[in-house]
């Protein structure tokens, strides 16, 4: 079965000839996603938790091709915004299977979710603040809800993703039992939810399991026999550095099950990063090589608008020289065309010496890569090409300069024609 595939895919494991061909055909910068690898990663994770309900956390990568692939494997989808609900439905998800985890939700998001529930009684809305439940009730909603708890224990690769101890996320632990009692009179309380952090690897696992055990204890205090599920979120990481080892999934499954203990409710898990991170690379072409007293500066056509994680989280992404992997490695600093010192992919890192027009591959770009792509400096967002069953296809076309200003032009046209503005939000049902 697919889940027996290698537990990690390094950037040097990609087919250089295929990547070079794709870059020549579709230009750079270019995202390349391997949908077969996406399915393999999901199946490997699900195999480690055979008794759990495993959902995919859409925020890691909401591309339609990725969502369709995961739906085909049998995954359900967890969404953190109305746009993700719409994307999941457009990809073919049954609205009754969706779970919406609301974090300080805008009114438009709650309107979308409650309108959806009016036609489909199955979706679950997870609230992380008392206000969220009051706002749901004010909309006449009395359907399925879950309570997001803040366990006070955060894990992950960076303080900005350690959600389990960030006050922004979830109801304080000690308030959940009383809140749950009150919610049962107003809604159909079906679950308890928590998310400890993101990028959890070996050194974080003990802390992660401690938080899991704490949430499981809380579920028993709330009354797990009356709950449909207890959702322990995702956060399981992948090795970004070449010397890091991947999680041992069978061992991970055992440790999490031990931390959970006996629960009458269904255990839910929401992998995101683990499923998509190593299934995608960014291809970028070298345009400048500049020797300086401090370092060799290598300029490429990708930027923090293409991949913002190094600038935002100080994240490490492996980089390979696709054109000439056999060259001797030299310390180089690789950055893009943005007018900021933050636009750097690496500093003084040994890479087979890049030369102008060389093709480089930036690995582990599948999680929060395209999701955080932007139009800084009015740069059009890149194309995305999918590989599946040996075939390739464009799943997201490259934006044009005209696309960058399109919404402004359309806003002017709408205002001129109707005297109103249009926020572009549609129901994807």
- Per the DSSP assignment, residues forming a β-bridge with 385 are 32, 394
Q: What is the mean pLDDT of residues 180-207?
A: 91
Hey, what domains does the chain have and what are their CATH numbers?
Answer: 35-275 (3.20.20.10), 278-401 (2.40.37.10)
By the 8 A CB rule, do 148 and 127 touch? yes
pLDDT at 133 over 50: yes
By the 8 A CB rule, do 386 and 65 touch? yes
Residue for token digits 């696992």? 205
Specify the pLDDT at position 158. Answer: 39
Residue for token digits 């992950």? 156
Q: What is the mean pLDDT of residues 311-323?
A: 97
Query: pLDDT confidence of 422, banded at 50, 70, 90?
Result: low
Q: What is the mean pLDDT of residues 40-68?
A: 97
Just list the catalytic residues: 339
Tell me what percent of the chain is helix, strand and coil, each rounded to the nearest 5.
Answer: 40, 25, 35
Specify the pLDDT at position 429. Answer: 40
Specify the DSSP class assigned to residue 236: B
By the 8 A CB rule, do 45 and 271 touch? yes
Helix (H, G, I), strand (E, B) or coil at 301: coil
Instruction: Express each pLDDT in 233-291 by its tens digit.
Output: 998 999 999 999 999 999 999 999 999 999 999 999 999 999 999 999 999 999 999 99
**Residue 138 to residue 26: CA distance in whole angstroms:** 50
Give the list of residues 6+ apart from residue 301 with CB closer than 8 angstroms, or none.
Answer: 28, 29, 284, 285, 287, 336, 337
pLDDT at 156 over 90: no
Give the list of residues 6+ apart from residue 64 with CB closer than 8 angstroms, or none.
Answer: 87, 90, 91, 395
pLDDT at 29 over 90: yes
Residue for token digits 């401090």? 294
Instruction: Express each pLDDT in 330-388 by its tens digit.
Output: 999 999 999 999 999 999 999 999 999 999 999 999 999 999 999 999 999 999 999 99
How high does pLDDT run on average in the chain?
93
Range scoring the smallest mean pLDDT among 166-170, 308-312, 313-317: 166-170
User: Buried b / exposed e across 189-209, counting CB within 10 Å, b at 16+?
Assistant: bbbbbbbbbbbbbeebbebbb
**Residue 318 to residue 140: CA distance in whole angstroms:** 50
DSSP-derived pairing of the beta strands 188-193 and 280-291: unpaired
Long-range CB contacts for residues 203-210, cutoff 8 Å, separation at least 24: 204/155, 204/156, 204/237, 205/247, 205/252, 205/255, 207/153, 207/155, 208/155, 208/235, 209/255, 209/256, 209/258, 209/259, 210/153, 210/259
Specify the pLDDT at position 166. Answer: 59
Query: pLDDT confidence of 3, banded at 50, 70, 90?
Result: low
Three state DSSP letters for 58-119: HHHCCCHHHHHHHHHHCCEEEECCHHHHHHHHHCCCCHHHCEEEECCCCHHHHHHHHHHHHH
pLDDT at 167 over 60: yes
By the 8 A CB rule, do 90 and 65 touch? no
**Residue 154 to residue 146: CA distance in whole angstroms:** 20
By the 8 A CB rule, do 100 and 126 touch? yes
């Amino acid at each position: 079965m697919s889940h027996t595939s290698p537990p990690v895919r390094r950037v040097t494991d990609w087919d250089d000839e295929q990547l070079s061909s794709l870059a020549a055909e579709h230009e750079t910068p270019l995202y390349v996603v391997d949908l077969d690898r996406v399915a393999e990663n999901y199946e490997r994770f699900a195999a480690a938790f055979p008794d759990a309900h495993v959902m995919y956390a859409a925020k890691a990568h909401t591309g339609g091709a990725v969502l369709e692939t995961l739906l085909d494997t049998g995954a359900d989808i967890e969404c953190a915004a109305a746009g993700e609900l719409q994307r999941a439905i457009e990809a073919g998800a049954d609205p009754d299977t969706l779970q919406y985890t609301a974090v300080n939700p805008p009114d438009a998001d709650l309107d979308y979710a409650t309108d959806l529930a009016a036609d489909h009684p199955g979706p679950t809305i997870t609230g992380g603040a008392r206000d969220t439940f009051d706002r749901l009730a004010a909309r006449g909603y009395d359907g399925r809800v879950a309570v997001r708890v803040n366990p006070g224990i955060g894990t992950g690769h960076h303080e900005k993703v350690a959600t389990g101890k960030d006050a922004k996320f979830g109801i304080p632990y000690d308030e959940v039992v009383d809140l749950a009692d009150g919610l049962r009179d107003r809604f159909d309380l079906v679950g308890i939810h928590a998310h400890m952090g993101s990028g959890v690897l070996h050194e974080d696992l003990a802390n992660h399991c401690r938080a899991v055990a704490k949430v499981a204890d809380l579920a028993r205090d709330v009354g797990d026999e009356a709950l449909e599920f207890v959702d322990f979120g995702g956060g399981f990481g992948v090795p970004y550095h070449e010397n890091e080892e991947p999680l041992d999934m069978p061992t991970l499954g055992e440790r999490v099950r031990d931390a959970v203990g006996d629960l009458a409710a269904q255990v839910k898990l929401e992998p995101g990063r683990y499923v998509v991170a190593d299934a995608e690379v960014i291809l970028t072409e070298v345009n400048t090589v500049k020797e300086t007293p401090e370092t060799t500066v290598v300029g490429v056509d990708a930027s923090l608008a293409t991949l913002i994680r190094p600038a935002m989280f100080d994240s490490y992404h492996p980089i390979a020289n696709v054109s000439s992997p056999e060259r001797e490695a030299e310390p180089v600093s690789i950055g893009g065309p943005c007018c900021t010192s933050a636009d750097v992919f690496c500093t003084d890192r040994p890479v087979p010496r890049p030369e102008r027009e060389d093709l480089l591959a930036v690995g582990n770009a599948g999680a929060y890569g395209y999701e955080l792509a932007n139009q800084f400096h009015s740069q059009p967002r890149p194309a995305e090409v999918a590989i599946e069953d040996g075939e390739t296809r464009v799943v997201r076309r490259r934006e044009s300069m005209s696309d960058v200003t399109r919404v402004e032009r359309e806003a002017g046209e709408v205002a001129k024609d109707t005297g109103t503005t249009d926020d572009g939000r549609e129901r994807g049902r």
